[in-house]
Amino acid sequence: MTFDDFLNILSKIKNLELPAEASHLKMMPPFRQELLELQRDAIKNAKNAGVMALFYPDFENQTRFVLIQRKPHQGVHSSQIAFPGGKYEKQDQTIEYTALRETFEEVGVPINLINVVKKLSQVYIPPSNFYVHPFIGFSSKRPNFIKQENEVDAIVEVALNHFLDDKTVVVKKVKTSYSIAAQVPAFELNNQVVWGATAMILSEIKDLIKPYI
C-alpha cells in the first residue's frame, strides 16, 4: 500500500470507535483468563506503559511500521517482538508523551517527527503487571533508525501489505513467561513470531484498517 493511500485511511479511522475486546480476543493466548484471575489483587496497582505503532514510507513510498526485538535477559519479555515503548515516568506529562519519548530512546525517532493520530485500546499484561497504552503515529519520511543497544536486539521493519495478508495469522508453540510451552495465536511477520499483547494491539489496528482497503 502506498503511503499516500495509507494516510487517506488514517484520516478515515481517526475518529472511529475502537473494536477493543472484539479484536483482542482473536489473538488472545488461551491461558490469559487464568492469569487475570491470579492477578486480581496485583492489577489494582498495575503500572502504565506507552507504546507507539509508528508507520512511515519506505524508499519506494510503500507503507511500513516498526517493531523491535528485545534483548535476551532474565525478565518476562526476553527476546520478544514488541512495539517501541516503555514505562510511564513521573516526569512524563502524559502517557502519549511516554510512548513518544520511549520511541525516541529505543529506535532513535525524534519526537517532533511523529504525528500521533489515535489512541488505541489499552491491554493489560499479567506477567509484568502493566497496562499498555498504544498509539498510532506516522512519520512523513522513513526515519533514520538507531537502536538502543542495551535494550533492543534488532529493529524489525514490517511492510503493511505483508501484515494485512491473512496468511500471517498462525498458531505457534511458544515458551511463555512462566516457562510453560503453549499453542498461541500469533502473527508471523518477517519470519518472527509476534504474540501476546503486541499481537492483540496489531489485531485492533488490522480491524480498523481492513474495511478501507
What are the backbone dihedrals phi and psi of residue 200, each rounded to the nearest 5 degrees, phi first?
-65, -40
- Type and span of the H or E element at 139: none
Please give the full DSSP string across 184-201, using - where no structure is assigned.
EEEEEETTEEE-THHHHH
DSSP 8-state code for residue 211: G
Please write the tens of the pLDDT for every residue from 86-121.
999 999 999 999 999 999 999 999 999 999 999 999
Grid-cell match 509476534, residue found: 194
Q: Please, what is the angle between helix 3-13 and helix 197-209, to 10°?
A: 90
- What pLDDT does 29 receive? 86
Closest CA to 29 of 207, 209, 178: 178
CATH 3.90.79.10 fits 3-160+197-212, yes or no: yes
Query: pLDDT for 146-167, tens place per residue?
Result: 999 999 999 999 999 999 999 9
Cβ neighbour number for residue 211 with a 10 Å cutoff: 10
Give pLDDT, residue 209: 97
Convert the pLDDT of each residue in 122-153 to its tens digit.
999 888 889 999 999 999 999 999 999 999 99
- The C-alpha cell at 119 is 489512541
Please report, for the chain, the start and end positions of each structural domain, with discontinuous segments joined by +. 3-160+197-212
| Distance of alpha carbon 150 from alpha carbon 175, whole angstroms | 23
